Structure 1
Amino acid sequence: MTQISGLVPSPFDWTAEIPQLQAQVLLVAGDADSILPAHMAEFFALLGGGQKDGNWDGSGKTRHQLALLPDTTHYDILGSPLLLPVVQAFLAR
């Protein structure tokens, strides 16, 4: 059985595959986590997010979303009262 900690040092680069994702993607992370908000923003950019203004009519928005929850880490994100509304709004789109 391989532990996650043993996989972390393994080199991988999914940069080319990320823009090809067909499903709508919701990226959710805590702003106090080991996965830095800047890294989540880079991932979001690979999906086309954050590249331009959404426009007054929404025509410039991407179908993907990024949510950074304040004062949250991967240890406590499931207990955040902000998580459920973010997920519900994404699924309701």
Structure 2
Amino acid sequence: AEKMGQPLRVFGNLPYNISTPLMFHLFSYTDAIADMHFMLQKEVVNRLVAGPNSKAYGRLSVMAQYYCNVIPVLEVPPSAFTPPPKVDSAVVRLVPHATMPH
């Protein structure tokens, strides 16, 4: 990205089992990333946007919100897929903070 002179835009439809490790890896490169858009299991998006004292709040919430502005974009019902999965999906946008909070 630095050689090309513009930040990366990252997109993906992430399987549940790699979504958290991949996002944690990408948080190390937020200086080279303009934004990230992911379709994830809705439960993961709920964890990304969760606030303190909520049941979904945890390490993923803290890390994502420390590095990025987390914006839920839209929910995708199982009926949007063939065959329909047994879980709801959602699209989220993560925009790295211009300056780190601390």
Please give the TM-score of this superposition, normalised by the length of structure 1. 0.29
Please give the TM-score of this superposition, normalised by the length of structure 2. 0.28
Between Structure 1 and Structure 2, which shows a larger proportion of strand residues? 2
**Which structure: larger Rg?**
1
